[in-house]
Each structure stands twice: as structure tokens, then as C-alpha cells.
Amino acid sequence: MQTRTDLIEDLMGRFPHIPREAVIKEDLLRGGMAFDDSALSDNENGDVKPKSYFIFSFDHRTLPELGTAALRRPPEEIVLTGGPYGLRRTVVSVRVNPDSPYRVKDDGSGALQLFLDDRPIAYVGLPPMPEYYRHRLANGKSVMEVAPTIQWGYLVYLTVFRVCQYFGAKEECQYCDINHNWRQHKAAGRPYTGVKPVDEVLEAMEIIDRYDTAGASRAYTLTGGSVTSKVDGLAEADFYGRYAKAIEERFPGRWIGKVVAQALPKDDVQRFHDYGIRIYHPNYEVWDKRLFELYCPGKERYVGREEWHRRILDSADVFGPRNVIPNFVAGVEMAAPYGFATVDEAIDSTAEGLEYFMSRGITPRFTTWCPEPTTPLGRTNPQGAPLEYHIRLLEVYRATMEANGLSSPPGYGPPGAGNAVFSVSSFMDSLPAEESPAATPA
């Protein structure tokens, strides 16, 4: 029987031009990792930066099924180095799966290592608790709850609206657990603010600015669920835009401002830009027409795929194509019951979408799909997509980018294995380690 070690070594052998770091990182992101209790954090009171649950759960089990990891949070990210594959520094977002063949534990000498099939394959570094997490807002809320940072501190992740107005099985994207994640945190009694007040966000940003003396924090992302009617009396562009306006007025140019929102009409997109946002992520989720209709039923019903794509192209007139970076969820192309049955077909479809945007100067990026158990596609596909799909996607992504004369998108930190900090997919790890002033933290 093929072990997971056999699987990754087979792919490393067949795709020698893909960094080994990316093979392991993709496998960890699609399938999760387990933790010995000794590798968990002491929440906000310890020396390790805990997982903030910044938007989705990104876990393979619900909170009540995580055991000790539900009481003592796992780290937000881990960094891998060394081991038999000679890994360069690789930052990986933590997705917990107690049944994973990957386990983080003490190797017996006091050092933490990542074990695969009971064999140590890399040393594990944990993110230190940032000084700004040790300070609270005047009302007692934690910075981790209001303005968590990810990507080894590079990105402040402002999920200012913790739920989505695409609601229920007929509207929610079929791989998304944003609404469930909100419910499970509420049920566990954790602080989890549905709509974050602007003043609280500003206060948390002030604390980050004051205590981030190393200058690691370089960008912020405003995001949350889609707004199909109104929140606080505001439609989507003005709701998310008001946070950017306040941040830019208080801290002009301190961070690169980004927003993840729906593909909105051009007037609304212009308002995002006027509010001070510089990078726009109108996510297209999955390229194939039939899969978009079936797996993103709310977006299909309210906007429709063709209109969605037209708006993405239109937004390049406002932001410039380089600063329009639509996301897709890598792996749902192969999700049963409607996904492609073969890796070849799935890659061909994804490549068509990449070419559609990249030939117009727009650089998509992707998040590796985590099959969360409370979503329809997570229930049907608990193993996620085949690892070969993820590896071949890295190959076709880089090839399409280079064929169109593009380089790594701005706002993602440095590219290249050993340099990348983007933690929820390895597309930045597999690009050339070129220096890009707009993309490199100082």
C-alpha cells in the first residue's frame, strides 16, 4: 500500500522543478496536520502566537472534535527547515487534522519536528507571540480578535464582517464554512465579533503600529462575507471602504490596503480606490462554468459568472491590472459530486482561467482548499483533491505567468522557496526568488 511518504517522494521525483518545500506544504494545506499536546500554544498567555481563526475554520474537524487543541489553540503558522529533504524556510498555515499522518511533536531531544508516517522530516519553528498581542483594547478585546496578523506577521487580516449574506445551502459557496465558523466560536463562548466597529479596528491598528518595531507588518486585508443587502445601513463598497478610509486617514501609507470583496460594478470599485485601497481581490473561486454555477450558487444567482468576469476585467481600469488579484480555491475543481474526474481535465480547465486573466495582465492567486467538515464539499470529499493536482497547478501557474511576461503579484511578501511568507498556498514558494520592490517587506 502506498504511504504518504511514497506519495510525496513520487511527486518530488516526477516534478523535480517544483520545490520540495512546495510539495510538502501543499500536502499539509490540503490534508492538515496533527499536534502533540506539547506543541500547542498557551493561547494568549504564552510565548507562541496562537491560531486566530481569522475567517474560516481551516480545520478538518469541528472545534468540539479537536480535543486539547480546542482548549489550547495550535500555533497560527509553523515554519519548516532542514530534515532529510533539506527544506529551506517554509511558512505553512496551520490546519488541524487529528488523523493526519503529519504530526508536530517533540523528537525526544527537546526539539520540535514534523513527523510523517512516524519519521521526522523537518524541524518546526513556532511563531513567537508578537508584542502587540500582549496589549488589549480599552474595552478589553484582544488584538488577536480584532486585527490578527498572518503570513509571519506580514499581513493584518481584518475580517470585519464575520458572516456572509449568502446564507444556507442554496446560496453559500459549497466549500465555505464562514457562517458555521462564526456559530461554532459563539457556541464555544469565544469572543468573535460579527461586525467589527471602525473604532476598534483603528485602536488595534494603533497597537500594532506602536509595537511592531521590526516593521514586519506591511499590508492589511479588509474582508468578510458578501453583502447582498446592507450592513450598518451600508452596501458592500461603502461598508468595507469605510474601514480603509479611517485607516488611511489615521496612518497614511503605513500599510498596503487590500480588499477581498465581490466583483462589484465599476462605480463601486472606484469607491474602493477612492477610499484608499490599492489592491482588489474580486475572487472568481472556480473557473469552470458548470462548477461555478453548482458550487457558488449565490454568486451565480445574484451576479452570474459572465458578469462577474466582466467586472473583474473592468476593475483593471480602476486599479491597474497588476493590482487586481482575483483568488480561486485550488482543489474544488476535483470535488465530487460534480468536479472533474481526472487531474488532466481539472488542470486544463484551471489553466484556461489563468490564461484568460493573465493574458490581460491580471494575476490570479489561489488558496489551497481545506475540506472543512461542515461544508457540503468537505463532507463529500474529506481527503480533498489529489496532491498531484496541486503540484501540477503550481507548474501551470508559473508557466502561464512567465508566458505572459508577469511576475509575482504585489502585496504577498517575497517570492521564492526559502523566502516566501504567504502561508495558505505555495504559489509564492514556487516562483523565482526575484527581488520586487513592491512585493518585498523592508
Q: What is the chain's Cα-based Rg?
A: 20
C-alpha to C-alpha distance for 154 and 112, rounded to whole angstroms: 24
> By CB under 6 A, what part of segment 242-261 binds ligand SF4?
none
Residue from the set 172, 212, 238, 268 that interacts with ligand SF4 by CB under 6 A: 172
225: contact with ligand SF4 by CB under 6 A: yes
- For ligand SF4 (CB under 6 A), the number of binding residues is 8
Closer to ligand SF4 at the Cβ: 26 or 172? 172
Q: Cell numbers at residue 121, please?
A: 522530516
Q: Are 192 and 182 in contact (CB under 8 A)?
A: yes
C-alpha to C-alpha distance for 425 and 286, rounded to whole angstroms: 16
Stretch that binds ligand SF4, among 73-81, 171-179, 365-373, 425-433 (CB under 6 A): 171-179
Residue 196 Cβ vs ligand SF4, minimum distance, rounded to whole Å: 15
150: contact with ligand SF4 by CB under 6 A: no
DSSP 117-137: TTEEEEEEE-PBPPGGGG-B-
Stretch that binds ligand SF4, among 66-74, 168-176, 247-255, 346-354 (CB under 6 A): 168-176
Half-sphere exposure of 103 (CA within 13 A, CB side): 12
Residue 424 DSSP code? S
Residue 193 DSSP code? -
Half-sphere exposure of 146 (CA within 13 A, CB side): 25
Stretch that binds ligand SF4, among 151-159, 172-180, 360-368, 378-386 (CB under 6 A): 172-180
Residue 154 Cβ vs ligand SF4, minimum distance, rounded to whole Å: 22
Closer to ligand SF4 at the Cβ: 177 or 212? 177
Closer to ligand SF4 at the Cβ: 97 or 226? 226
176: contact with ligand SF4 by CB under 6 A: yes
From first CA to last CA, the distance across the chain in angstroms is 48
Helix/strand/coil for 153? coil
178: contact with ligand SF4 by CB under 6 A: yes
Residue from the set 164, 219, 286, 358 that interacts with ligand SF4 by CB under 6 A: 164
Q: Which of 130, 228, 155, 147 is nearest to 193 (CA)?
A: 147
C-alpha to C-alpha distance for 95 and 43, rounded to whole angstroms: 16
Residue 197 Cβ vs ligand SF4, minimum distance, rounded to whole Å: 20
Residue from the set 11, 91, 114, 173 that interacts with ligand SF4 by CB under 6 A: 173
Nearest 5°: the CA angle 84, 85, 86 is 95
Residue 71 Cβ vs ligand SF4, minimum distance, rounded to whole Å: 27
C-alpha to C-alpha distance for 125 and 43, rounded to whole angstroms: 17
Residue 350 Cβ vs ligand SF4, minimum distance, rounded to whole Å: 18
166: contact with ligand SF4 by CB under 6 A: yes
C-alpha to C-alpha distance for 424 and 435, rounded to whole angstroms: 21
Encoded amino acid at 123, one letter = Y
312: contact with ligand SF4 by CB under 6 A: no
- Strand order, beta sheet including 119-125: 34-35, 102-106, 112-116, 119-125, 77-82, 87-93
Q: Are 158 and 147 in contact (CB under 8 A)?
A: yes
287: contact with ligand SF4 by CB under 6 A: no
Residue 173 Cβ vs ligand SF4, minimum distance, rounded to whole Å: 3
Residue from the set 62, 226, 400, 425 that interacts with ligand SF4 by CB under 6 A: 226
Closer to ligand SF4 at the Cβ: 221 or 226? 226
372: contact with ligand SF4 by CB under 6 A: no
264: contact with ligand SF4 by CB under 6 A: no
Encoded amino acid at 87, one letter = L
By CB atoms closer than 10 A (0-12, 13-18, 19+), residue 306 is: exposed
Closer to ligand SF4 at the Cβ: 15 or 192? 192
Residue 236 Cβ vs ligand SF4, minimum distance, rounded to whole Å: 11
Phi/psi of residue 421, nearest 5 degrees: -120, -10
Closer to ligand SF4 at the Cβ: 133 or 272? 272
Residue 116 Cβ vs ligand SF4, minimum distance, rounded to whole Å: 31
Residue 259 Cβ vs ligand SF4, minimum distance, rounded to whole Å: 13
Helix/strand/coil for 149? strand
Residues lying near ligand SF4 in the complex (CB under 6 A) are found at 164, 166, 172-173, 176, 178, 225-226
